[in-house]
Structure 1
Amino acid sequence: MRHRDWLRANEDREKLRTRWADYFTTHDVLITPAVPAPAVDDQTTTPLPDRYITVDGEKRPYFDQTAWLNLAGHVKLPAVVMPAGRTPGGLPLSVQIIGPYLADRTVVDVARHLARHLPAPVRPPAFTT
């Protein structure tokens, strides 16, 4: 990337950071799904352009699963992803808690409080001894 292009992208990022700062003047955190669907089947042998996820019965591009996760990182917002139960078929579900810039402790504290109201995470058999 040329420096000029990076500067333009950085300016857009700073504008987005300002919009997030405005949002957090009236909200402590934002809670979103971590991903738009539960775990997907193993597709490691499928070429990347052919991989997909299924959301509400509709086939979508594989990297659509990062849509919710992409909200925080590039604008330096703290976020935590935590287990939030399972689907009727037993697949894990999770939520993401996003907080304002430099409010890492707030995000962790909200996660701690929310964990009291969510089902306890199930440890995979490989981790139980």
Structure 2
Amino acid sequence: ELPAARHTAFRDFRVLVIDTDPVMPTDTAVRGTINRLADNLAKSGVKIERSSPLLPDFAASSRLYMRMLMSFLSSTFAPDIYAGAKAAAASLPEGDNSLAAERLRGIALSHRDWQAANAGRTRLRAQWRELFKTYDAVICPVMPTAAYPHDHSLDQETRRIKIDGKEHVYPDQLAWPGIATLPGLPSTAIPTGFAPDGLPIGVQIVGPWLEDRTPLKLAELIEREFGGFAPPPSFND
């Protein structure tokens, strides 16, 4: 049975707020809604911090997440697709640590290397456990932009998404949901407003392992105090 939420009032919550990272930058609109939420929470009595040495390295955990994610997904690949990806992974430069390279390596991950990756995930879980001795929740992006046009072209690695006008590799967006997915942490996504073009923006509240009710309670308090879901303006026409 899951434990009760750690707190029931804003004044008792200790929250770490992260609005972007060089590995997967967020656009101006996303950062703006996160910063506005952080300011509102601070005014309501929440203890807010904007950085901490306890936070696991986002670049390292994102690379690990991409490897383990693709190791799982590639188990269903057709033999010819798998063979081609394996050959491509073998030809990667040793120093290429881009998220795209890690996805390719993940497809060809041996059982030995998967065990090493899993050990890395165990260490990551221990880091998060230490962090949640100081904080009750982490508020961070769930995606780097507002709602975006989906690209269904065949090769995902050639797809691009624009963040503040600059192109980024489409699948790299998975780094933000991966922050909770890889260590198995509960995450509650909440709406935080709209981009200038009227498209919705959200963030995630990440909580301690098995303490799902803590981010849910914080989300409930935020909705009660600042408002929750509202249909995008164009839906009201």
Paired residue for 1:77, among 172, 185, 190?
Answer: 185
Q: What is the TM-score normalised by the length of structure 2?
A: 0.49
Does 2:119 align with 1:11? yes
Is the contact between residue 79 and residue 98 of structure 1 (CA under 8 Å) also seen in structure 2? yes
Which residue is equivalent to 2:197? 89
Deviation of residue 46 (structure 1)?
6.1
Change (3 A) 1:16 1:109: same
**Pick from 112, 121, 126: which aligns with 2:229?**
121
Q: Cα–Cα, structure 1 residues 47 and 6, in superposed 2: closer, same or farther, change >3 Å?
A: closer
Q: Secondary structure at the match of 1:94?
A: strand
Which of the two has greater strand per residue? 1
Q: What percentage of aligned pairs have identical amino acids?
A: 38
Q: Structure 1, residues 24-44: CA drift from partner, whole Å, max 9, x if none?
A: 110000000111111222322
Q: How does 1:101-120 map to 2 (within 5 A)?
A: 101-120=209-228
User: TM-score, length-normalised on structure 1?
Assistant: 0.86
Which of structures 1 and 2 has the bigger CA Rg?
2
Q: Could you tell me how far apart the structure 1 residues matched to 2:183 and 2:123 are? A: 10
More helix by share: 2
1 CA distance for matches of 2:160 and 2:116? 31
Which of 132, 143, 146 is the aligned partner of 1:35? Answer: 143
Pairwise CA RMSD: 2.2
How far 1:47 moved relative to its partner?
3.8
Partner amino acid, structure 1, of 2:221: H
How far 1:119 sits from its partner (Å)? Answer: 4.4
Gapped regions of structure 1 (runs ≥ 5): none
Which amino acid in structure 2 is aligned with residue 93 of structure 1? I
Is residue 50 from structure 1 mapped to residue 50 from structure 2 by the alignment? no
Ranges of 4+ aligned residues in structure 1 off by more than 4 Å = none
User: Across the two proteins, how many residue pairs are aligned to each other?
Assistant: 127
Runs of 5+ consecutive residues of structure 2 not aligned to the other structure: 1-108
* Aligned mates of 1:100, 1:55 — CA distance in 2: 30
Q: Residue 185 of structure 2: SS of its match in structure 1?
A: coil
Report deviation, 1:70. 0.4
1:84 and 1:93 in contact (8 A); partners too: yes
1:67 aligns to what SS in structure 2? helix
Q: Aligned in 2, Cα 1:56/1:33: closer, same or farther, shift over 3 Å?
A: same
CA deviations on 1:33-70 (whole Å, 9 max, x unpaired) are 11111122232246422211111221000012222110
